[in-house]
Amino acid sequence: MEYTLREICSLTGGIVLGDGSTKITGVGSLEGAGPGDITFVKGEEFIRNALNTEASALVTHREIKEIKRPQIVVEKPFLAFVKVLQIYSKEKLKRPQGIHSKALVAKTANIGKEASIGAYSVIEEGAVIGVRVTIYPMVYIGQNTQIGDDTLIYPRVSIREEVSIGKRVIIHSGTTIGGDGFGYLQVEGRHVKIPQVGTIEIGDDVEIGCNVTIDRATLDKTVIGRGVKIDNHSHVAHNVIIGEDTMLIAYAKIAGGAVIGKNVMIAEDVGITDHAIIGDGCVIGGGSNVYKSLKPGSVVWGSPAKPIMEEKRLQSLLKKLPSLRETLKKLTKTLKEQGILKDEVDH
């Protein structure tokens, strides 16, 4: 990456104070940045740290006169710096266009312009790969699967047959999309497999972390809505529907047929039972187990999940139980000695 500060400002907004021709070749934190790097000051409390930075330029929320380095002054410096990081990341991760000589691409697959297909990747019959899609080495894409424009797929991702993936999707290493849902019929003490013949539909601007599993539907489709973000090691079972802009933190587990609304926040290690309906805007605290449907806007925590203030009160009471037990023992002893309490009390 090599931009002038003025060029960066044209992308982030704001105004340049100082030499706009300053060359920027990298990014860094206030403490870790060096010559050629640009960094940012998030707010007033970080100005002291900024005084000693070695960065060549800073993105700030106001002019910092004590710093004799060029600055971009913008209302939201963190957001502006994120735009810089997007530029830096895109250039850093850029891969050569075309199909690697050691990739295996079926003759009937349709590969879009400016796509990059890495070594040892396999693209099966009838697959459609969009424009500027980047597929790293050792990726498997099944027959008739469709990958939208500008999607990025990291190594060792497996996407099975007839899956539909939108534009600008990011899929991290080790993830499997389109495996069979866990469906069996109990017959005379044996487990008879129910064929999983549905598919998966993933919307635009979705990001899926490492080692995530998303199962195909038994019938119809599993749906991941536009803008959904799924963290590492999460599991989405067959026929689940997840609404737009919902977020699943690490180790989230969504059982078959559950319907998750829009803008839901599911914290780490949450389990949601099958066919539960989670309304729009719900927040589910870490480690919770949700055994029933939740109304829109619910904020819950615990196992079983309950309104968060109720769970906090219960947690507070649990901490007091040992001292309450000791108090009860002493009170019981006193009442017995005074002859007031005669029946044996189990404590």
Check if the beta carbon of residue 172 is closer than 8 Å to that of residue 151.
no
Torsion angle, alpha carbons of 326, 331, 336, 341, to 10: -110
Helix (H, G, I), strand (E, B) or coil at 122: strand
Residue 238: active-site member: yes
Name residue, tokens 């740290």: 49
Torsion angle, alpha carbons of 324, 327, 332, 334, to 10: -170
DSSP per-residue string spanning 33-86: --TTEEEE--SGGGHHHHTT---SEEEESS--TT--S-EEE-S-HHHHHHHHHH
Q: How far is CA 173 from CA 153, 162, 280, in A?
A: 8, 20, 30
Q: How far apart are CA 149 and CA 152, in angstroms?
A: 9
Check if the beta carbon of residue 77 is closer than 8 Å to that of residue 57.
no
Q: How far apart are CA 189 and CA 210, in angstroms?
A: 36
Antiparallel, parallel or unpaired: β 265-266 and 158-159: unpaired
Catalytic residue (choose from 61, 238, 275, 347): 238
Query: Residues with catalytic annotation?
Result: 238
